[in-house]
Structure 1
């Protein structure tokens, strides 16, 4: 890159521009680099964020200090220090100890790439096996789809798909898209066999994202149906209207303190129905006492229930 004029204004589009939120303590991504197992995901996540902040050139070598005039060197040093702090915040404590004394963000980036960017057959084999054997199990549809998509995205990053406009490339791209759909449907639980059959009968076949949307809607409907209250199977007797039907009540009666009914349908106030099944003789005698004392004030009825029954 040719030297840039020292009088150039460091505006929003300039690579040396720092937003007030660009502080040393900023966490660019939610996960830290721990080693070989997550370097590819970490590196791609960091590159996306740095590109959005117009700072990717500080780690890939595009923004060399010597490419700028002396008047911009202090600003370059400041940006380089910010980049070093961002990298330190994005790696594990074990790795940060080995790079804390580095003075150049690009050299740190190159060192991490040299140590952990091991694109070998073993990692590709592992991803291929995980994608082929993954299943929903106890996961929700959303969690299962997200996990599968992460594995697939990493696999495509390691084994890129040809993107030219030739016929063979387009055919292969359609084949890959179809494989993604089949893998998603294969891993679903058997409870979704009906919606899976509907998707496979569609012409043309939908994309994996469209299929996920259909299955997610099915899951949402099932959840809504499972939490809807169901009518209570019990029928309650009322002196005024004969029979009182209601939905299941989950609270506690404020009169008898028994769970499962409200005060206006409490047998101890409105009377027990003729066909009520008593489990104990004591309860039967108590029910008769309540039915016969309709004109007795409420406190007397309570005392009658609490009185010991003759053996």
Structure 2
């Protein structure tokens, strides 16, 4: 009785909640075990084999590590072996089938790997004879472990770098466009653009024109040229 009370919770808790509901009121571990065996241990279950094969076809590495992906496939293959075992009489048939099955499971594993493993996948497929599934996994696993250490910065970091660069470009563009948008300088002496009165050649003369430069000394910002009257005493 004590053993029943110890083992029954373990068996029930190991089941899916919806399945466990049907075993909660049973009297002994033996009753639970026999009932579960009759319900779920039917070998040669064609529908179950189909579902497992479908899961195998849909299983891809994606965001998983190679180890996680490989472990999921191994679990599905074990289920498939249980529900659809081969019963062969001729030992030669057993060896031939086992070789065929091993190759196809290797193909399943390689087909679901991410694209970054394409070079090593191609290398495995041209190997004669094909390596075992375990050997293929052993050759790919170190590459999967090495890649994170050599990966580019995380997407958030790259986004931040891109944002900083973009903001700097915008600031520079705004600064330069702002400089171009300043009002054009206009000389209030000659009326021409791109210079002011203090740099007007018409007023001050070109650089090196001494005569014009001396003439400009007698001008002011708002007055005409002033010349002394002839004969005026000092």
Using structure 2 for the length normalisation, give the TM-score.
0.57
Aligned to 1:145: 70
Structure 1 residue 215: Cα displacement: 1.4
Instruction: Give the conservation status (yes or no) of the 8 Å contact 1:178–1:207.
Output: yes
Aligned to 1:193: 118
Flag the 1:92–1:194 CA change in 2: closer, same or farther, 3 A: closer
2:15 corresponds to 1:91: yes
Instruction: Give the conservation status (yes or no) of the 8 Å contact 1:161–1:173.
Output: no
Instruction: Give the conservation status (yes or no) of the 8 Å contact 2:46–2:84.
Output: no
Deviations along 1:153-175, one digit per CA (max 9) or x if unpaired, are 11111112458782221111111
Instruction: Give the conservation status (yes or no) of the 8 Å contact 1:148–1:184.
Output: yes
Structure 1 residue 118: Cα displacement: 5.1
Query: 32, 38, 49: which one pairs with 1:108?
Result: 32
**Which residues of structure 1 form unaligned runs of 5+?**
1-76, 229-278, 282-311
Flag the 1:100–1:182 CA change in 2: closer, same or farther, 3 A: closer
Deviant stretches of 4+, over 4 Å: 92-97, 162-165
Structure 1 residue 194: Cα displacement: 0.6
Aligned to 2:222: none
Tell me the distance in 2 between the aligned counterparts of 1:142 and 1:101.
40
Instruction: Give the conservation status (yes or no) of the 8 Å contact 2:26–2:32.
Output: yes
Aligned to 1:166: 91
Tell me the distance in 1 between the aligned counterparts of 2:21 and 2:116.
50
2:47 corresponds to 1:125: no
Structure 1 residue 178: Cα displacement: 1.0
Flag the 1:91–1:221 CA change in 2: closer, same or farther, 3 A: closer
Structure 1 residue 210: Cα displacement: 1.2
Tell me the distance in 2 between the aligned counterparts of 1:146 and 1:94.
26
Structure (1 or 2) with the larger CA radius of gyration: 2
Structure 1 residue 151: Cα displacement: 1.2
Aligned to 2:151: 226
Q: Give the 5 Å matches for 1:263-302.
A: none
Q: Give the 5 Å matches for 1:31-42.
A: none
**Which residues of structure 2 form unaligned runs of 5+?**
154-171, 177-234
Flag the 1:90–1:211 CA change in 2: closer, same or farther, 3 A: same
Tell me the distance in 2 between the aligned counterparts of 1:160 and 1:147.
19
Structure 1 residue 93: Cα displacement: 4.5
Aligned to 1:14: none
Flag the 1:223–1:204 CA change in 2: closer, same or farther, 3 A: same
Tell me the distance in 1 between the aligned counterparts of 2:147 and 2:114.
14
Tell me the distance in 2 between the aligned counterparts of 1:201 and 1:180.
16
